[in-house]
Amino acid sequence: MAFVTANWNPLGESFYRKIELYEMGWNLKDGLRECLVAAAPYGGPIALLKGHYRRSPSARPQLEIYSSSGLPLASFPWKSGVVKQLGWTVSDDLLCVQEDGTVLVYDLWGGFKRHFSMGNEVSQSQVLETKIFHSPYGTGVAILTGALRFTLATNIDDIKLRRLPEVPGLQEAPSCWAVLTQDRQSKVLVANGSQLFILDNTACTPVTPPGLSPQASSIVHMCVSFSYKYLALLTDSGHVWMGTSNLKEKLSEVDTKIKTPPKQMAWCRRPKSQQPSAVVMWDGLLIVVGECKETIQYHLDDDSVLVPELDGVRIISGTHHELLQEVPGACEEIFKIASMAPGALLLEAHKEYEKESQKADEYLREIKEQSLLSEAVRQCVEAAGHEHEPETQKTLLRAASFGKCFLSNFPPEQFVSMCRDLRVLNAVRDYTVGIPLTHTQFKQMTVQVLIDRLVYRKLYPLAIEVCRYLKTPEYQGVSRVLKHWACYKVQQKEESDEVIAKAVSVKLADAAGISYSEIATKAYESGRTELAIKLLEFEPRSGEQVPLLLKMKKSPLALSKAIESGDTDLVYTVVMYLKNELNRGDFFMMLRNQPVALSLYKQFCKHQEQDTLKDLFNQDDDHEELGNFYVKASYKDQRLEARVALLQSAVDEYYKAKNDFSAKTTEDEMRLLRFQRKLEEEKGEQLVGFSLHDTMTTLLSVGLHKHAEQLYKDFRVPDKRFWWLKLKALAEKEDWEELEKFGKTKKSPVGYLPFVEVCIKHHNKYEAKKYVSKVTPEQKVKAHLAVGDMEGAAEAAIERRNESEISTVLSRCSATTDHLLMERLNRAKATAVKK
């Protein structure tokens, strides 16, 4: 195990180590010399533009894309303009910034996706330098133009170009510059000689790094840390100044003693590490600077590129791929020579245990005596995460597991999830996959993103394995991978629709939450409408199917899908679309076959297009509804002639519909209207629009008895109702004489109680009493009570020997005035009850 520290180098308080990740699989004749190189962070792909410095039209440069382990992904001759810069987006797309400010976007398989321009100003004055940066808002592009102005786009997926203010006194290209993200804003830091400026949207502010060595006359290089929190400046005097990026605090300054300008500089700082450190690279030399005067120097054989990462720097050369980082705390504690840290002791104990030596017990005791065993286990687990060699990982995890046996109640989650994570990490670090993620990076990037990256690389089976192994919810995991797979699958031109549709449905059958419409859209976009329709059949969400079906001009299908969804708005949408697309006849025919759509459309017409409604009824020979339609229309018209004409149409329709009742009723209505009009003209009485009942009441109340009688006969109003009506009308008028006369015309079909009540209602007790005697015996009590004749009521009730009537009368008696009556009633009640 001693060799673990073989590649460690001390710097101040801590150690740095350089780990070989891969021996590169590519075969580059000239190494990285004369190549434009871009490597994506988080172990992403590498793009090379070869032969790009030779500007002869005959030899086109070659663009090549590799995985981190150097396996080729794509290679094609570059046919567009002069490329100034390559860079990767957060979603593994390659950006190629051309001299004229055009940015071309490729996927990592070299497929062209799109292009966009950085604006007129840039294309006119040409790109001098450019930087591609990442911020919380996505991937951005910053350009320094030939006119020495900066143009910035913070997010290439939502391009909003910003031209930054001018830098005062800038005559030629600045010695160096960098993009910062501060206060949710991207800013540019520019060095012009020894002057330093911050450019934001509105202003150019001069700034001074605190405590910068006075010997410096120019800042020749700068770099910002991965988190944008720290800044390193390299001066022409060879000093590296390190501080916070807001330039408020200096962390350290180290003299590299090399005054030539470097090729590259990058931060090399772990999160939570105490020591700021940066890596500076010259031809053949790499220096790590930290807080102390000393530096670590590495010799480089080959042209190399530094790729800053969250927790270190990757160094890619023509043959090798290495990771340089500060040794993580847990690893240092365990492996540092002569370490007595609990983790180190536990590792030792486990080693002895394997050897079946009793020393194991001694070590264990020692840890346990200090009650540091759980700490020891934690250290071993953590350290395992930071080691790249599976053998070392295993040793550490075994030690942790051994230690755990002597602990009760030690939470297992950390150990279990570390084992899982490492299994996944080792799988993706594999040479064939080539994603050299550290555990820290993995945690930062999340499983979701890792799966995305695997999907971009078309490593679908591995992605699914990872999802299943890590138990990612299906919706975010397996289903998503399968969807991507299917989207890719439908673009394979060589296979037939049937084969692909079947393959997709079989694979996706059990996966939950698959959006088939997305896959179908992909198929449609690649010109395979039939396949798209087949795939849409699998989409459970009708709402998703409809827009695409409309786009593909499959309107009948779209309509039935919309109806299936139950979402009426969706049905309306399709119906309105069809209305505009089809001629009227076809449109009506289509609706006819879809009753749900038809009734919705009728609803729409009712409010918006009355005439269409009529046409629809006509088409269906729906005479009943047509009749109703005319009746309704008749009420909207003010002119009597028009109303009658409309009603006549209604009558005709009702007859056609064999609805005699409605037809006759409507004829009655016309008759009434005509009668009302005639009378209005003759007598000047407002009548049109009144119901028959109200018309008669009005006529009676103005004394036109004959006319009322005529209506009563003509419309065959039942006797009872006419009596009621007349009775009430006369009472209303207080025409008591006429009422009495009316009451004597013949035997009342409603009886005489109503006469009594109607008089009482109009407070005429005198008139009311006239009718009491005529009331039938059953209603006598009620009638007497109505006129307030208690004696009469009592008499009638007792005569009828009706218990409940007696009770009613009793309840109306008051104890003070009707004392005697009550006695009589009570007696009668008693006998009635006996019976």
Partner 1 sequence: MASHLFCGRVNLNILREAARKDLREFLDKCSGSKAIVWDEYLTGPFGLIAQYSLLKEHEVEKMFTLKGGRIPSAAVKNIVFFVRPRLELMDIIAENVASEDKLKPREFHILFVPRRSLLCEQRLKEKGVLNSFTNIDEYILDLIPYDGDLLSMESESSFRECYLENDQTSLYHAAKGLMTLQALYGTIPQIFGKGECARHVANMMLRMKREFAGSHTQILPVFDTLLLLDRNVDLLTPLATQLTYEGLIDEIYGITNGYVKLPPEKFAQKKQGEGGKDLPTEPKKLQLNSAEELYAEIRDKNFNAVGAALSKKAKIISAAFEERHNAKTVGEIKQFVSQLPHMQAARGSLANHTSIAELIKDITISEDFFDSLTVEQEFMTGVDTDKVSTYIEDCIAQKDPLIKILRLVCMQSVCNNGLKQKVLDYYKKEILQTYGYKHILTLKNLEKVGLLKPQSTMRNNYPTIRKTLKLWMEDANEQNPNDISYVYSGYAPLSVRLTQVLARPGWRSIEEVLKILPGPHFEERQQVPTGLHKKLLRCCRSRRGPL
Q: Which residue stretch of 106-114, 340-348, 594-602, 794-802 sits at the interface with partner 1 (rule: CB under 8 A)?
A: 594-602
Q: Which residue stretch of 159-167, 188-196, 352-360, 712-720 sits at the interface with partner 1 (rule: CB under 8 A)?
A: 712-720
Q: Considering the rule CB under 8 A, would residue 714 count as an interface residue with partner 1?
A: no
Taking the complex as a whole, the smallest distance from the CB of residue 493 to partner 1 amounts, in Å, to 31
Q: Which residue stretch of 3-11, 280-288, 343-351, 714-722 sits at the interface with partner 1 (rule: CB under 8 A)?
A: 714-722
User: Which of 330, 340, 329 minimizes the C-alpha distance to 367?
Assistant: 340
Identify the residue among 78, 488, 572, 655 touching partner 1 (CB under 8 A): 572
The label of the residue with tokens 């009590």 reads 781
Taking the complex as a whole, the smallest distance from the CB of residue 545 to partner 1 amounts, in Å, to 11
Q: Which two tokens stand for residue 120?
A: 């007129």
Q: Considering the rule CB under 8 A, would residue 26 count as an interface residue with partner 1?
A: no
Q: Considering the rule CB under 8 A, would residue 734 count as an interface residue with partner 1?
A: no
621 Cβ neighbours under 8 A, 6+ residues apart: none
Identify the residue among 41, 724, 789, 822 touching partner 1 (CB under 8 A): 724
Q: Considering the rule CB under 8 A, would residue 518 count as an interface residue with partner 1?
A: no
Task: Show the site string, 735-774: x = touches partner 1 by CB under 8 A, - = not.
Answer: ---------------x------------------------
Task: Give the CA distances from residue 111 to residues 74, 107, 118, 230, 456, in Å, rounded to whole numbers and listed in that order.
Answer: 9, 5, 21, 36, 12
User: Which of 235, 296, 298, 310 minimizes the C-alpha distance to 266?
Assistant: 310
Q: Considering the rule CB under 8 A, would residue 264 count as an interface residue with partner 1?
A: no
Q: Which two tokens stand for residue 382?
A: 């953590």
Identify the residue among 63, 196, 570, 708 touching partner 1 (CB under 8 A): 570
Q: Residue 118 carries which DSSP code?
A: -
Which residue, 147 or 576, has its beta carbon nearer to partner 1? 576
638 Cβ neighbours under 8 A, 6+ residues apart: none
Which residue, 570 or 796, has its beta carbon nearer to partner 1? 570
Residue 724 and residue 719: Cα distance in Å, rounded? 9
Taking the complex as a whole, the smallest distance from the CB of residue 719 to partner 1 amounts, in Å, to 10
Q: Considering the rule CB under 8 A, would residue 593 count as an interface residue with partner 1?
A: no
Which residue, 213 or 665, has its beta carbon nearer to partner 1? 665
Identify the residue among 479, 555, 594, 802 touching partner 1 (CB under 8 A): 479
Task: Provide the H-helix boundaries in 405-435.
Answer: 413-429
Identify the residue among 210, 556, 595, 703 touching partner 1 (CB under 8 A): 595
Radius of gyration, alpha carbons of the chain = 48
Which residue, 249 or 660, has its beta carbon nearer to partner 1? 660
User: Residues touching partner 1: how many (CB under 8 A)?
Assistant: 55
Q: Considering the rule CB under 8 A, would residue 556 count as an interface residue with partner 1?
A: no
> β-pairing, 278-282 with 264-267?
antiparallel
Task: Give the CA distances from residue 396 to residues 177, 382, 387, in Å, rounded to whole numbers and listed in that order.
Answer: 44, 9, 9
Judge whether 42 and 303 are in contact, CB under 8 Å: no
Taking the complex as a whole, the smallest distance from the CB of residue 541 to partner 1 amounts, in Å, to 4
Q: Considering the rule CB under 8 A, would residue 693 count as an interface residue with partner 1?
A: yes
Which residue, 36 or 600, has its beta carbon nearer to partner 1? 600
Q: Which residue stretch of 248-256, 350-358, 598-606, 739-747 sits at the interface with partner 1 (rule: CB under 8 A)?
A: 598-606
Which residue, 25 or 513, has its beta carbon nearer to partner 1? 513
Q: Considering the rule CB under 8 A, would residue 600 count as an interface residue with partner 1?
A: yes
Taking the complex as a whole, the smallest distance from the CB of residue 810 to partner 1 amounts, in Å, to 17
446 Cβ neighbours under 8 A, 6+ residues apart: none
Edge to edge, the sheet with strand 278-282 lists: 264-267, 278-282, 285-289, 295-299
Task: Give the CA distances from residue 389 to residues 22, 261, 349, 431, in Å, rounded to whole numbers and listed in that order.
Answer: 12, 36, 21, 13
Q: Considering the rule CB under 8 A, would residue 721 count as an interface residue with partner 1?
A: yes
Residue type, 747: K
Residue 627 and residue 637: Cα distance in Å, rounded? 16
Taking the complex as a whole, the smallest distance from the CB of residue 185 to partner 1 amounts, in Å, to 19
- Largest Cα–Cα distance of the chain, in whole Å? 136
Q: Considering the rule CB under 8 A, would residue 71 count as an interface residue with partner 1?
A: no
Q: Considering the rule CB under 8 A, would residue 628 count as an interface residue with partner 1?
A: yes
Which residue, 402 or 617, has its beta carbon nearer to partner 1? 617
Identify the residue among 560, 662, 748, 802 touching partner 1 (CB under 8 A): 662
Q: Which two tokens stand for residue 760?
A: 């009482």
Burial class (CB in 10 A: 0-12, 13-18, 19+), 31: middle
Strand partners, 77: 62
203 Cβ neighbours under 8 A, 6+ residues apart: 165
Identify the residue among 319, 513, 605, 612 touching partner 1 (CB under 8 A): 513
Kindly report the number of other CB atoms within 10 A of residue 61's CB atom.
21
Tell me the CB-side half-sphere exposure of residue 790, using CA atoms within 13 A: 16
Identify the residue among 612, 715, 807, 810 touching partner 1 (CB under 8 A): 715
Reduce the DSSP state of residue 818 to 3 states and report it. coil
Q: Which residue stretch of 202-210, 229-237, 459-467, 626-634 sits at the interface with partner 1 (rule: CB under 8 A)?
A: 626-634
Identify the residue among 108, 396, 672, 687 touching partner 1 (CB under 8 A): 672
Residue 225 and residue 203: Cα distance in Å, rounded? 24
Q: Which residue stretch of 69-77, 351-359, 674-682, 688-696 sits at the interface with partner 1 (rule: CB under 8 A)?
A: 688-696
Kindly report the number of other CB atoms within 10 A of residue 319's CB atom.
17
Judge whether 142 and 188 are in contact, CB under 8 Å: yes
Q: Considering the rule CB under 8 A, would residue 540 count as an interface residue with partner 1?
A: yes
Q: Considering the rule CB under 8 A, would residue 448 count as an interface residue with partner 1?
A: no
Task: Give the CA distances from residue 238 to residues 254, 264, 365, in Å, rounded to whole numbers and listed in that order.
Answer: 8, 14, 53
Taking the complex as a whole, the smallest distance from the CB of residue 661 to partner 1 amounts, in Å, to 6
Identify the residue among 632, 741, 812, 819 touching partner 1 (CB under 8 A): 632
Residue 604 and residue 591: Cα distance in Å, rounded? 13
Q: Considering the rule CB under 8 A, would residue 573 count as an interface residue with partner 1?
A: yes
Residue 375 and residue 371: Cα distance in Å, rounded? 8
Q: Which residue stretch of 67-75, 335-343, 463-471, 710-718 sits at the interface with partner 1 (rule: CB under 8 A)?
A: 710-718
Taking the complex as a whole, the smallest distance from the CB of residue 768 to partner 1 amounts, in Å, to 16
Task: Give the CA distances from residue 374 to residues 119, 346, 399, 401, 403, in Å, rounded to whole numbers and listed in that order.
Answer: 60, 10, 12, 11, 8
Q: Which residue stretch of 48-56, 155-163, 569-577, 675-683 sits at the interface with partner 1 (rule: CB under 8 A)?
A: 569-577
Q: Considering the rule CB under 8 A, would residue 779 count as an interface residue with partner 1?
A: no
698 Cβ neighbours under 8 A, 6+ residues apart: 685, 687, 690
Identify the residue among 79, 160, 493, 607 touching partner 1 (CB under 8 A): 607
Identify the residue among 728, 762, 774, 800 touching partner 1 (CB under 8 A): 728
Q: Considering the rule CB under 8 A, would residue 566 count as an interface residue with partner 1?
A: yes
User: Which of 179, 58, 199 minimizes the C-alpha distance to 129?
Assistant: 179
C-alpha 655, offset from chain centre = 57
Q: Considering the rule CB under 8 A, would residue 683 count as an interface residue with partner 1?
A: no
Residue 130 and residue 84: Cα distance in Å, rounded? 7
Q: Residue 3 carries which DSSP code?
A: G
Q: Which residue stretch of 76-84, 189-197, 388-396, 570-578 sits at the interface with partner 1 (rule: CB under 8 A)?
A: 570-578
Q: Considering the rule CB under 8 A, would residue 576 count as an interface residue with partner 1?
A: yes
Judge whether 508 and 487 are in contact, CB under 8 Å: no
Q: Considering the rule CB under 8 A, would residue 686 count as an interface residue with partner 1?
A: no
Q: Which residues bind partner 1 (CB under 8 A)?
A: 473-475, 479, 511-513, 540-542, 564-570, 572-573, 576, 595-596, 599-600, 602-604, 607-608, 628, 631-632, 635, 661-662, 665-666, 668-669, 672, 690-694, 715, 717-718, 720-721, 723-725, 728, 750
